[in-house]
Amino acid sequence: MSFLESLPGSVILGPMAKGCNLPYRRLSVELGARVTCSEMALARRLKQNRRPEYALIRRAPEEPCFGVQLAGNKPEEMAWAAALVEERGASFVDVNLGCPIDYFTSKGLGAALARQPKRVAKIVEAMKLAVKAIPVTVKFRLGWNDDQRNYLEVARAAVDAGAGALFVHGRTRDARYRFAADWDAIGEVARAVSVPVIGNGDLLFPHEMEAARARSHCAAVAVARGALIKPWIFGEATSGYRDISADERVAIYRRYVALALEHWGDHDRGRGQVAEFTRWHFGFWCRYAPRRPDGSWPGMQEREDVRFARTPLEQLLARQDQAAHAWITERLLAGEDVDPAAAPPPSEEDTQPGSEIEVSG
């Protein structure tokens, strides 16, 4: 099925640097994702034939609808890269105007590029001419900061240049992830353009996705941190909320390790990569908390106190310290039981909410 045919009602795994590694996308598909997207790939590095960049655009055979997100600020480079990813099996190609990371914005990429709608139009137009059959999409934030919220101008420039759909992250670049996403602004974009709009921001539970779609009239929604915290979010989108047990969660994490070993290799170097990525993922997995006993829901913007845990294993999985994450990762790589009684004891600070891990895409 094509990207545009897949859109209505979809919950898309949005593009994220590191988070959208191929094994995690495969896991997401197994858990119900219909549309997935790559990590951000730099068009210039692809043209320079850098092998690590080519690994980012590889499609897993089981991905039903797979897009590649490109970053660049030169129309000719982006056009060349768009043709390349189409040739390599992408279902759509996305332009990154959202990455807030200083390293990239200082080079005029990501959110910095969105400050130049005319250049955005030239890039989209060049990419549209370079591809044969797949749509060019654009992902952007609401603006650079609250004084420069130019999202409607960017949206219209992209669509006029040939964009087939838009991804809208409901925050500015300066806001990063500190404030709640503005779904009213996302709805403004949906009403202002003639192409499908995919909204993104703060979606963690099925009722939130339904409310966001109703509020914004988006064709679909995308999840990023929500999918990192709970990869079973895609199944919930169709079947409803699950109060998933700690044992079920461990089985899902164990499956990720198996997929990662297939990808990076079951040898010393590959196992080192798997361990690094798994520890990184635990920085998000530990944030999962179920519906509260009073019927209210945890929010994306505030971490739950770890005292919500109902079992020793749930308490272990809620720990936010690197020692716990490394210990669980070692058990998963070794194929051993994750026994809370054998885990290293937490320190005082381990019981306090941790800081935000930033993702880009």
pLDDT digits (tens, 9 = 90+) for 240-252: 999 999 999 999 9
Asked whether the predicted pLDDT for residue 27 surpasses 90, the reply is yes
Q: Is residue 358 part of a domain?
A: no
Chain length of the chain: 361
Asked whether the predicted pLDDT for residue 352 surpasses 50, the reply is no
Are 49 and 85 contained in the same domain? yes
Are 255 and 332 contained in the same domain? yes
Angle ∠(293,248,305) on CA atoms, nearest 5: 40
Q: For residue 22, what pLDDT is reported?
A: 98
Asked whether the predicted pLDDT for residue 64 surpasses 90, the reply is yes
Are 210 and 300 contained in the same domain? no
Asked whether the predicted pLDDT for residue 280 surpasses 80, the reply is yes
Q: Is residue 41 part of a domain?
A: yes
Q: Is residue 307 part of a domain?
A: yes
Mean pLDDT of the chain: 94
pLDDT digits (tens, 9 = 90+) for 110-143: 999 999 999 999 999 999 999 999 999 999 999 9
Q: Is residue 361 part of a domain?
A: no
Q: For residue 86, what pLDDT is reported?
A: 98
CA 219 to chain centre: 18
pLDDT band (50, 70, 90) for residue 360 = low
Are 254 and 211 contained in the same domain? no
Are 286 and 154 contained in the same domain? no
Mention every residue, 6+ apart, whose C-beta is less than 8 A from residue 218.
Answer: 186, 187, 190, 196, 197, 198, 199, 212
Give the domain-ending residue among 239, 265, 294: 239
Dist CA 163 CA 268 (whole Å): 44
Asked whether the predicted pLDDT for residue 273 surpasses 70, the reply is yes
Q: For residue 208, what pLDDT is reported?
A: 97
Give the domain-ending residue among 205, 223, 239: 239
Are 193 and 297 contained in the same domain? no
Q: What burial letters (b/e) apply to 211-234, b meaning 16+ CB within 10 Å?
A: ebbeebebbbbbbbbbbbbbbbbb
Are 31 and 58 contained in the same domain? yes
Dist CA 318 CA 283 (whole Å): 10
pTM: 0.94
Q: Is residue 357 part of a domain?
A: no
Look up residue 44 and give its two tokens: 């210039």
Are 250 and 311 contained in the same domain? yes
Give me the phi and psi of 140, to 5 degrees please.
-145, 160
Q: What domain range is 111 assigned to?
A: 3-239
Asked whether the predicted pLDDT for residue 91 surpasses 50, the reply is yes
Are 178 and 230 contained in the same domain? yes
Dist CA 348 CA 340 (whole Å): 17
Q: For residue 207, what pLDDT is reported?
A: 96
Dist CA 1 CA 148 (whole Å): 38
Are 194 and 325 contained in the same domain? no
Q: For residue 145, what pLDDT is reported?
A: 93
Q: For residue 353, what pLDDT is reported?
A: 46
Dist CA 45 CA 49 (whole Å): 6
Among residues 37, 99, 218, 286, which one is catalytic? 99
Please give the share of the chain, as a percent, with pLDDT higher than 70: 96
pLDDT digits (tens, 9 = 90+) for 133-173: 999 999 999 999 999 999 999 999 999 999 999 999 999 99
pLDDT digits (tens, 9 = 90+) for 197-238: 999 999 999 999 999 999 999 999 999 999 999 999 999 999
* 99 assigned to active site: yes
Q: Is residue 96 part of a domain?
A: yes
Look up residue 345 and give its two tokens: 């004891």
- From the CB of residue 43, how many other CB atoms can be counted at a distance below 10 Å? 27
Full strand arrangement of the beta sheet holding 36-42: 11-13, 220-223, 197-200, 165-169, 136-140, 92-97, 66-71, 36-42
Q: Which amino acid makes up residue 163?
A: A
Are 315 and 215 contained in the same domain? no
Q: What is the CATH number of the domain that holds 205?
A: 3.20.20.70
What's the number of domains the chain is made of? 2
Look up residue 194 and give its two tokens: 């003639």
pLDDT digits (tens, 9 = 90+) for 303-350: 888 778 999 999 999 999 999 999 999 999 999 999 999 999 987 655
Q: Is residue 132 part of a domain?
A: yes
Are 110 and 218 contained in the same domain? yes
Q: Is residue 257 part of a domain?
A: yes
> Do 110 and 96 form a contact (C-beta atoms < 8 A)?
yes
Give the domain-ending residue among 212, 239, 266: 239
